[in-house]
Amino acid sequence: MYTVGTIFSAVQYERTQITDPQLEIVDLAYDTRKIRNGSHSLFFALKSVRDGHLFLQDAYQKGVRAFVVSDQKIDSQNFPDANFIWVSDVLEAMQELARFHRLQFRKPIIGITGSNGKTVVKEWLTQLLQEDKRVYQSPKSYNSQLGVALALWNLSDDYDIALIEAGISLPGEMALLQKMIIPEIGIFTNIGAAHASGFSSKKQKLEEKLLLFSESKQVISPSYYGIAALLPPTVSVFSFGSADLDEVKLLRVEDHGRADSTIQVSYRNEIATFTVPFRDKASIENILICLTALLFLGYSLDAIPQKLAKLRPLEMRLQLKTGKNGCSIIDDTYSNDLASLQIALDFLFQQQQHRKKSLILSDMESLDDKLRKKLLQLLQRQDLDHIILVGEGLSYLKQHLTNNVQLFTSTESLLRAMPDISFQDESILIKGGRVFHLEEVSRLLVAKSHETVLEINLNALEHNLQLYRGKLPPDVKLMVMVKAFSYGSGSYEVANLLQYNKVDYLTVAFADEGVELRQHGIQLPIMVLSPDEQAFESLLANRLEPEIYSFRVLHAFIKFLRNRNLQNFPVHIKIDTGMHRLGFMPTEIQELINVLRDSAELLPASVFSHLVASGNAEHDQFTTQQIELFEQCVDSIEQKLGFKLLRHIANTSGIVRWPQAYMDMVRLGIGLYGVDMGNALDLEMVSMLKTTITQVKSLPAGETVGYDRKGLLHRDSRIATVKIGYADGYNRRFGEGVGAMSINGQLVRTMGSICMDMCMLDVTDVKANEGDEVIVFPDLMKAASSIGTIPYELLVNISSRVKRVYFYG
Ligand X SMILES: *Cc1c(COP(=O)(O)O)cnc(C)c1O
Residue nearest to ligand X (CB): 669
HSE-CB for 257 with a 13 A CA cutoff: 1
Q: Is 691 in the site for ligand X (CB under 6 A)?
A: no
572 part of the interface to ligand X, by CB under 6 A: no
455 vs 676, which CB is nearer to ligand X?
676
Q: Residue 796 CB, nearest distance to ligand X (Å)?
A: 10
Q: How far apart are CA 666 and CA 608, in angstroms?
A: 10
- Residue 546 binds ligand X (CB under 6 A): no
Q: Which is nearer to ligand X, 500 or 792 (CB)?
A: 792
According to CB under 6 A, which one of 219, 289, 633, 670 is a site residue for ligand X?
Answer: 670
Query: 3-class DSSP state for residue 150?
Result: helix
Which residue number, 99 or 648, has a Cβ lying nearer to ligand X?
A: 648
Nearest to 298, CA basis, from 263, 275, 267, 274:
267
Three-class SS of 365-412: CCCCHHHHHHHHHHHHCCCCCEEEEECHHHHHHHHHCCCEEEEECCHH
Annotated binding residue 756? yes
CB of 474 to ligand X, least distance (A): 21
Least distance (Å) from ligand X to the CB of residue 470?
A: 17
Active site residue 707: yes
Whole-angstrom distance, CA of residue 31 vs CA of residue 29: 6
Spatial distance between the Cα atoms of 84 and 4, rounded to a whole number of angstroms: 10
Asked if residue 401 lies in contact with residue 384, where contact means CB atoms within 8 angstroms, the answer is no
**Can residue 66 be called a binding residue for ligand X (CB under 6 A)?**
no
Contacts of 643 (CB under 8 A, 6+ apart): none
Nearer to ligand X, 384 or 683 (CB): 683
Report which of 297, 452, 298 is spatially closest to residue 773, judged by C-alpha positions. 452
Q: Which range touches ligand X (CB under 6 A), out of 228-236, 410-418, 663-671, 751-759?
A: 663-671
Is residue 647 near ligand X by the rule CB under 6 A? Answer: no
Residues, the chain: 809
| Phi/psi at 766 (5° precision) | -130, 170
Residue 667 near ligand X by CB under 6 A = yes
Window 444-503: residues binding ligand X (CB under 6 A): 481
Catalytic residue among 357, 483, 574, 690: 483
Give the residue with the Cβ less far from ligand X, 604 or 671. Answer: 671
Q: Which residues contact 498 (CB under 8 A, 6 or more apart)?
A: 465, 480, 482, 506, 524
User: With CB under 6 A, what is the number of residues at the site for ligand X?
Assistant: 10
* CB-nearer residue toward ligand X: 725 or 791: 791
| Minimal distance, residue 389 CB to ligand X, in Å | 45
Q: Which residues have CB under 8 Å from 522's CB, separation 6+?
A: 352, 492, 495, 496, 499, 506
Is there a contact between 186 and 110 (Cβ–Cβ < 8 Å)? yes
* Shortest CB 606 distance to ligand X, Å: 12
Q: How far is the CB of 666 from ligand X (least distance, A)?
A: 9
Q: How far apart are CA 502 and CA 504, in angstroms?
A: 6
107 three-state secondary structure: coil
CB of 465 to ligand X, least distance (A): 13
Closest among 301, 426, 455 to 356, alpha carbons compared: 426
**583 binds ligand X per the rule CB under 6 A:** no
Catalytic residue among 202, 203, 707, 782: 707
Check the annotation: does 518 bind a ligand.
no
Min dist CB 669 to ligand X, Å, is 2
Nearer to ligand X, 481 or 561 (CB): 481
Q: How wide is the angle at C-alpha 410 spanned by C-alphas 155 and 133, nearest 5°?
A: 30
65 binds ligand X (CB under 6 A): no
Task: Please tell me the distance from the alpha carbon of residue 110 to that of residue 212, in angstroms, as a whole number.
Answer: 11
Q: Which of 147, 186, 669, 739 binds ligand X (CB under 6 A)?
A: 669
Q: 585-624: which residues touch ligand X (CB under 6 A)?
A: 610
Site map (CB under 6 A) of ligand X, residues 515-534, x = contact: --------------x-----
Part of the chain binding ligand X (CB under 6 A), chosen from 170-178, 418-426, 661-669, 699-707: 661-669
Return the closest-CA partner of residue 169 out of 141, 137, 139, 136.
141
Question: In Å, what is the CA distance from 500 to each residue of 254, 468, 492?
Answer: 48, 16, 12
Q: Which is nearer to ligand X, 115 or 606 (CB)?
A: 606
Q: Would you call 483 a catalytic residue per the annotation? A: yes
Which segments are annotated as binding site for substrate?
A: 581, 756
Tell me the catalytic residues: 483, 707
Binding site for ligand X (CB under 6 A): 481, 529, 610, 651-652, 667-671
Which segments are annotated as binding site?
A: 581, 756
